[in-house]
Amino acid sequence: MGMSIEIGGELPAGLIEELLGEVESELSDFTGPATVQEFRKEAGGTIKWNGTTNYGECDDLKAWLQNHNLSYEHFAEAKYEYDAALKFWRPGMKKEVCTAANQDGSITVTADRIGPVVEMLLILAKGGKDLPLLIGKYKYHEELIEKCIKNPKRALGYVEKELRRILPEPMIVPPLTLKG
């Protein structure tokens, strides 16, 4: 399946060949730097490869990037019964963020995921008294609704955290710099 990965951060120059080996072992029919010389020429901006992989994934490459503290944005195209996905990671994150995407790589959110949270915000804006009416209406968000009812002073914080989870802020991949 089609995919792309864009990387950035600080890479010791002595690891370029190892990184290119990871790319070559996971991606097929790829475009992007394939030699140390091409890689060095693109350094200073982000480095991007487009290609095909098994199910659009490149887990070994992403693990290598995380191990070397390099940020990435990985896009896997939709095909057959698989939806498109946008995944990203940067140093300091506990785990990779994965979200649904369209074929252009833009984050998408379905109404059934965001609608209940918007309704909760509207209820909270009106004082929060009608929150119990949502119990049983939105099974996916029932735990969040119950937390808001039990601790109304923290309800807005709970809802904000859920919104950030559903609507992650897209990452801007930093330029790749070589050290050493």
Q: What is the pLDDT of residues 168-179, one digit of tens each?
A: 887 899 999 999
Q: Is-contact 7 173, C-beta < 8 A?
A: yes
Kindly report the CA angle at 167 between 166 and 169, in degrees rounded to 5? 140
pLDDT in tens, 37-67: 999 999 999 999 999 999 999 999 999 999 9
| Domains, the chain, ordered by start | 2-108+169-179 (3.30.70), 111-166 (no CATH)
Q: Is-contact 158 147, C-beta < 8 A?
A: yes
Query: Would you state the pLDDT for residue 139?
Result: 86
Count other Cβ atoms within 10 Å, centred on residue 46.
Answer: 18
Q: Which among 151, 155, 157 is positioned nearest to 126, based on CA atoms?
A: 155
**Residue 71, beta-bridge partner list:** 8
pTM, rounded to two decimals = 0.82
Provide mean pLDDT across the span 112-126: 93
> What percent of the chain stands above pLDDT 70?
100
**CA 87 to chain centroid:** 3
Widest pairwise Cα distance in the chain: 64
